[in-house]
Structure 1
């Protein structure tokens, strides 16, 4: 494997031998390679302490007979134990394979932020824990370049730069619950009638055959009629930059 080969080459010379390896909590092959070469490994938990202490079951069949949770909670967490992807193992199995080869855990939290949950993490995961803090976004609000053309700013940010301060409504409903086409049309017509400036990060509605420009998701002629009023985008948007923008 590429990482195992990298570790073998790096550890062959004391001048390049790593002092520590930091492994994502599901990248068990990273922890295994570090363990093989006797390099201490840290498991990175990019989550809150409350989440890290929520699931205490081992990845064994014992989970099926303990019934320590209500049925609806069991059904909700079952996929992380039972679903096996291309790796041939569940999410929980990958986590425990990583953890068992690590000497330390680093978590995106700190005791002042989660005083009760944070103190439970070492007991629950069985490792000493180093707090990383909240890892907030960069001071510039996470402004990102456009990944499609390498420009200094994303097209949505450039559009916002041309709008008056406090004048734009940002609409982003996420992808967890896709809207029906009819609901998208109602939102679009409401924006048009309101006459306010808007930036709409539009996701594919249920039942829509989507083209790149999103025209088939919107009422006929909507984009032409609102060309000077708003911007609709169907791709990735730098949400932190948008929320931090003066417009």
Structure 2
């Protein structure tokens, strides 16, 4: 009976620790989701202020973002903790994406969501996936720093091409909303189930990105239908 009681107590203790870990991970996942949305809105306001300063402002902004992203990606390769390294690389990817695609697109310097962009995206994502599967000696931070831009680019490119081809009210757009919502929920769930602070943060950020994209499709659908004109 004594051994049975000890095993039972250990089982409940393990369950308690596991539930606590899940709760902490979930908290950081939701917190990172809210922080990401806040930073998106803050970045949009900052971008408007910078564009009002003249032509040199956006170029300096892009350069600063790119330097921060590359420096963070390089530094993250020297972190011994693989999850912390991946998280910092993932965060660096946000700056790299903003510098190379997001801001240049807003300034109409490039068109990363055009039809021709698909021809560049597909080989890059295949190379990234092949490298992640077969080049195990590459630090996780590299895949984080490159995976974030490719992931965001893929989600936005899919949304842009579907809406451009079939419209926001089409069946294809509805399917894309469901797929994007599944990605969002799956990322958050996997981050929480993994049970670490870093996985929770990454899951929360991916959840925010996918949710934001799904909401943009819903917004496009509402703007196309113009329900206020029927009232």
Shorter-chain TM range is under 0.3
| TM-score for both structures, normalised by structure 1 | 0.18
More strand by share: 1
- The structure that has the greater radius of gyration is 1
More helix by share: 2
| TM-score for both structures, normalised by structure 2 | 0.19
Higher relative contact order (CA 8 A, sep 6+): 2
